[in-house]
């Protein structure tokens, strides 16, 4: 299952809407690459909130990519590995408990 499907399940936002959103993100990245190309920079670094994508196109036909995670993502990954807990599963379980509690509270 990809990110779009997982986000769709978590947020209840239709996957088609999320796909359109990610397509617009792709356009924004291409805009930054285009501007760097026009400025003859040969590379660009783009903050995508969970980290930075580095795109190097200085060697002609070869494009190289690099991803550097944000400090928050690094911390979350380290916590996941050290605790052995899946934060996605934990959030889903918390949400489910909350929804069930609220539903039954209204019935009682």
Question: Does 44 fall in a domain?
Answer: no
Question: Does 27 fall in a domain?
Answer: no
Question: Does 103 fall in a domain?
Answer: yes
Contacts of 36 (CB under 8 A, 6+ apart): 42, 43, 44, 55, 57
**Interatomic CA distance for residues 108 and 99, integer angstroms:** 14
Domain containing residue 106: 70-108
Regions of the chain short of the pLDDT cut 50: none
Question: Does 16 fall in a domain?
Answer: no
pLDDT of residue 54: 98
pLDDT of residue 107: 63
Question: Does 60 fall in a domain?
Answer: no
User: How many independent structural domains does the chain possess?
Assistant: 1
pLDDT of residue 106: 64
């Amino acid at each position: 299952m990809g990110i779009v499907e997982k986000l769709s399940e978590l947020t209840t936002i239709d996957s088609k809407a999320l796909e359109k959103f990610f397509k617009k993100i792709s356009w924004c990245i291409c805009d930054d690459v285009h501007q760097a190309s026009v400025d003859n920079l040969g590379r660009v670094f783009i903050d995508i909130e969970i980290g930075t994508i580095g795109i190097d196109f200085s060697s002609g036909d070869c494009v190289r990519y690099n991803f550097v995670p944000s400090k928050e993502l690094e911390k979350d990954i380290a916590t996941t590995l050290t605790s052995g807990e899946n934060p996605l599963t934990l959030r889903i379980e918390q949400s489910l408990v909350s929804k069930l509690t609220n539903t039954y509270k209204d019935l009682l």
